[in-house]
Amino acid sequence: MGFLHLFIVNKSGGLILHRSLSSAAPQIGTNEWLRIGSTFHSLHAIAAEASPVKLPNNKNSNGAQDGIEQIEGGGVILKCLQTRTGIKFVITAEPGTSDLDTVLREIYVLYSDCALKDPFYELEMPIRCELFTNSVDSLMKRVVAGEVMMR
């Protein structure tokens, strides 16, 4: 399993979290991350316009804003979960890594539990909830250990 990074972009394109998911993940500076976040946000939106197939009102089958779902490069896969509420959960991994979709959906659940219920977390702001980051780390450990995620 070659998970690399996780990043989360809010509705307005601001980066609210970036996290290495393994020691193999390359180090990326904070400013670089901010650029990645906003660039991806814009590309996601433009992609729907540039796409030869335009969905009604740009809504995909989940009712969420249509846009980039997956980017495959020579050495990396990027997968994005765009929620109906406008947040993007993005994960990068080495090619051949499985369960990217499942991991993204589980992370969305963890966000709803650990960040949204924290009285000290302000919506749309950078996530500093220790419980969220600990839970994500714990999730990644279980995924790498091959444990089936049943909810």
Partner 1 sequence: MSSKMQASQAGQALWSKMPKANAELFALTYGSLVTELVRDYEDPIEVNAQLDRIGHSIGVRCVDELLSKADVAGMGLATQCQNLRDTAEVVAKVGFKMFLGVQAEVGGFSQDQRSFSIYLQDNPLATFVELPAAGDEQYNGDDLRKLKYSNLYCGVIRGALEQVNLKVECNIVRDTLKGDEVNEIRVELKEVLADGAGDDYKEE
Partner 2 sequence: MSRSSSNNILDRPLGRVGGRSTDTTFVSLSAFAYIYSELVQYHQSRAASVSELERRLESAGYGVGLKVLEMTAYRTKEMKREIRLMSILHFVSSSVWKSLFGRSADSLERSIDHADEYMIIDYEPIASTFVSVPTDLGQLSADAYVSGIIAGVLDGAGFAARVTAHNVKLEEGERQGGGSGSGGGAGGNAVPGIPPRKNKAVFLVKFSPEVLSRDAALER
10 binds partner 2 (CB under 8 A): no
x-marked contacts with partner 2 along 54-93 as a string, rule CB under 8 A: ----------------------------------------
- Of 64, 110, 60, the C-alpha closest to 87 is 64
Q: Give the residue from 149, 129, 130 showing the smallest Cα distance to 139.
A: 149
User: Can residue 128 be called a binding residue for partner 2 (CB under 8 A)?
Assistant: yes
Quote the radius of gyration of the chain (alpha carbons, Å): 15
Single out the residue of 63, 73, 96, 146 in contact with partner 1 (rule: CB under 8 A).
63
Q: How far apart are CA 70 and CA 8, in angstroms?
A: 15
Q: What is the tally of helices (H) and strands (E) in the chain?
A: 3, 5
Which is nearer to partner 1, 7 or 111 (by Cβ)?
A: 111
| Residue in 35, 54, 59, 117 binding partner 2, rule: CB under 8 A | 117
- Scan for tokens 């996530």, then name that residue: 127
Contact flag: residue 124 with partner 2 (CB under 8 A): no
* 99 contacts partner 2 (rule: CB under 8 A): no
CA-to-CA distance for 38 and 105, rounded, in angstroms? Answer: 22
CB of 150 to partner 2, least distance (A): 9
To the nearest 10°, the Cα dihedral for 80, 84, 85, 87? 0
Question: What, of partner 2, partner 1, none, does residue 71 touch, CB below 5 to 8 Å by kind?
Answer: none
Stretch that binds partner 2, among 10-18, 37-45, 63-71, 107-115 (CB under 8 A): 107-115
CA atoms within 13 A on the CB side of 151: 8
Binding site for partner 1 (CB under 8 A): 56-57, 59, 61-65, 83-87, 105-106, 108-109, 111-113, 116-117, 123, 151
